[in-house]
Structure 1
Amino acid sequence: MEISGLVSAVVIGLVIGVLGRLVVPGRQHIGILWTIVVGIVAALIGSAIAARLGVADTKGPDWIEWLVQIALAAVGISALDRAVSRR
């Protein structure tokens, strides 16, 4: 993986993670690094799901892909927050 690919994965992960965090109500007890990690994982899995559904490559913005990625990030952040809160 090239440096530009790594940087863009982190930036997209940050955006998806932050948007997913905004969807989850209340205060989350996880840091920004975990938010980025969850966002990157959600972006990768969401892209794979969108490709399987056939909505990954559309004319214009890929709104459905973004919604899937943000929903996955929200679920991941919520699950991670619950796991951290129990400790």
Structure 2
Amino acid sequence: MPTGIIGWLLIGLVAGALGKLLMPGRDPGGIIVTILLGIAGALLAFYLTPLLGLDVRDSTWQAYAAATAGSVVLLALYRMVMVRRT
């Protein structure tokens, strides 16, 4: 069960890898950017899920699912922005 920001950062590392598995292909930034997007997605899930009325902080699997969903969303947005820039 994640406790605080440090726990969500660690979950974000795993969520970045899971996000990469769910969205294979070439990323403009490579694996490091993907992991950083996973961390950002986990922090996004940490702050947004209570606003949506979801309490994922009590369950580890729900926290991983929310962090992975946040990672996939950010990775998709990142790909759309980077493709348009090039």
TM-score in same-fold range (> 0.5): yes
Q: What is the aligned length?
A: 81
Aligned ranges 1:1-20 → 2 under 5 Å: 11-20=10-19
Unaligned ranges ≥5, structure 2 = none
Unaligned ranges ≥5, structure 1 = 1-5
Residue 55 of structure 2 aligns with an amino acid whose one-letter code is: V
How far apart are the structure 1 equivalents of 2:36 and 2:61? 22
Superposition RMSD in Å:
2.7
Higher helix share goes to which structure?
2
Q: Residue in 1 aligned with 2:22?
A: 23
Compute the TM-score of the two structures, normalised by the length of structure 2.
0.67
Instruction: Say whether the 8 Å CA contact 1:14–1:35 is kept in structure 2.
Output: no
Check if 1:81 corresponds to 2:57.
Answer: no
Instruction: Say whether the 8 Å CA contact 1:38–1:73 is kept in structure 2.
Output: yes
Distance 1:51 1:9, change over 3 A: closer
Compute the TM-score of the two structures, normalised by the length of structure 1.
0.66
Identity of aligned residues (%): 29
Instruction: Say whether the 8 Å CA contact 1:56–1:65 is kept in structure 2.
Output: yes
How far apart are the structure 2 equivalents of 1:46 and 1:7? 14
How far apart are the structure 2 equivalents of 1:71 and 1:57? 15
How far apart are the structure 2 equivalents of 1:78 and 1:11? 21
Larger Rg: 1
Deviation at 1:18, TM superposition (A): 1.1
Instruction: Say whether the 8 Å CA contact 1:55–1:62 is kept in structure 2.
Output: no
